[in-house]
Amino acid sequence: MNSITRRMLLACALIGVFAIGVAVGQNKFGKPTSVVHVVTVKWKADSTAAQRQAAIDGVAGMAGKIKGIKNVYLKTLRVQSPSQDKPFDAAFAIEFESEAAAKAYADDPAHKEWEKGYQAIREESRSHQVTN
């Protein structure tokens, strides 16, 4: 094998190793078809910490009773408020199996029951639903 052929083979091998490295190093992500319902909350000023925690814990209780809920996210890490004058206090999210499950949730008796306590201490909330 002459030196030009060896150099060409080495160059091809190096290009192959580089291409494999790029492919392996790429971030893998999915595009699930579940629906994520994200809620940000501003609690009423006279609500207590115990009432607030009960409302958040109630989301998990509700999840055990409503068909089509896959996951709940209850720990607030950061909340972006619409203004500094009315900061939002908390956030939670519910992941549904499908758009149909998300729609059925609104009228489910377990949701209606949870909502009574939640709305009594909620000054304002914003909710968003996203999917792929």
Q: Domain residue spans in the chain?
A: 35-130
Alpha carbons 41 and 81: distance in angstroms, whole number: 9
User: Residue 10: CA atoms inside 13 Å, Cβ hemisphere, count?
Assistant: 7
Alpha carbons 126 and 11: distance in angstroms, whole number: 57
pLDDT score of 21 more than 80? no
Say whether 87 sits in a helix, a strand or coil.
coil
Closest to 92 in 3D by CA, of 65, 120, 46, 54 = 54
Q: What digits encode the pLDDT tens for the residues 43-91?
A: 999 999 999 999 999 999 999 999 999 999 999 999 987 777 778 999 9
Q: Write down the pTM of the prediction.
A: 0.79
Q: What digits encode the pLDDT tens for the residues 101-125?
A: 999 999 999 999 999 999 999 999 9
The fold of the 35-130 domain, in CATH, is: Alpha-Beta Plaits (3.30.70)
